[in-house]
Amino acid sequence: MAEDFSIEKAQASAWFRTLRNQIILTFEGLEASYGKAARFEVTPTTRADGGGGLMSVLRGGAVFEKVGVNVSEVHGALGERAQKAMAARGVPGMDKDPRFWASGISLVAHMVNPHCPAVHMNTRMFWTPHAWWFGGGADLNPCLEYPEDTAHFHSAMRAACDVHHPDYYAKFKAWADEYFFIPHRGRARGVGGIFYDDLNTGDWAEDFALTQDVGRAFLPAFVPLTERRLSTPWSDADREAQLIHRGLYAEYNLVYDRGTKFGLESGHDANAVLMSLPPIAKWT
């Protein structure tokens, strides 16, 4: 049986909000530096059975066509489908005590310039009376790939992992390559990054520290790529490629993404869960 973890839950939830605030300030500053005072619209979210969060979305900027940065802290009892999903992941006893608590940050950015890559980042902590774990990661989703941008992003993710274990980056990169693969298209969603889930080494502080370092690595991994590509001229063909790639992104999130499924099945605010969807997309 897992301990109550009240102190640890509070620390994790506070960290996700701190990271959210840092990212929002940086993104609004980036917009301002390119001549548009676009701001995030912040909406409280609720889960009927307990908890909620903040959905923060910026639309129509000079840099970001749409970017969402959500934080949540939810709790209650898992429904039957979610209990079965937990059991399938190796968590016993959920049918006897289905209580859960979860907190995390989720970010998806869809860019104006097709040369700027879309990006996703998520980190979270999950607790039940039977187990606790961390999960998350970040992955890059360019429609027009630049190998040097891919290398920079992966280098930042590797540095965050290497502080904690020499095998983490290779393991988490391979996990991302598998997780973000789209079977019905026979291709990856983007150029990868890192992904991990069910992380419980038995040392909560160490696993939390890794999760914090992954979060801290995000802005240095992503913002320089945006600054590098933002002034690159783009054509109608570039925009077409961007919109088609967004369709691919939407397919993945609606069909395969574990967080989307859990959010909807556990009764969280549907608008917040579906924040990741692009504002405009196309299919051929």
The 3-state secondary structure of 144-205 reads CCCHHHHHHHHHHHHHHHHCCCCCHHHHHHHHHHHHCEECCCCEECCCEEEEEEEECCCCHH
User: What DSSP element (H or E) covers 66?
Assistant: strand 64-77
Reading the block at residue 7, the tokens are 């102190």
Q: Which domains does the chain have, with CATH numbers?
A: 6-276 (3.40.1500.10)
pLDDT given at position 268: 63
First to last CA, the chain: 51
d(CA 172, CA 180): 12
Contact 225, 153 (CB under 8 A): yes
Catalytic site residue from 110, 120, 130, 245? 120
pLDDT given at position 272: 75
Of residues 156, 99, 136, the one with CA closest to residue 15: 136
Reading the block at residue 187, the tokens are 């291709």
The bridge status of strand 99-111 relative to strand 64-77 is: antiparallel
pLDDT given at position 1: 47
pLDDT given at position 266: 63
Tokens 């020499």 correspond to 166
pLDDT given at position 48: 81
d(CA 208, CA 114): 35
Reading the block at residue 97, the tokens are 């005590």
CA angle 246, 249, 253 (to 5 degrees): 140
- Using DSSP's 3-state secondary structure scheme, residue 135 falls into strand
User: What DSSP element (H or E) covers 133?
Assistant: strand 132-141
d(CA 194, CA 157): 7
Active site residue 120: yes
Contact 64, 230 (CB under 8 A): no
pLDDT < 70 stretches in the chain = 1-2, 265-268
Contact 53, 104 (CB under 8 A): no
pLDDT given at position 138: 98
Of residues 219, 226, 270, the one with CA closest to residue 110: 226
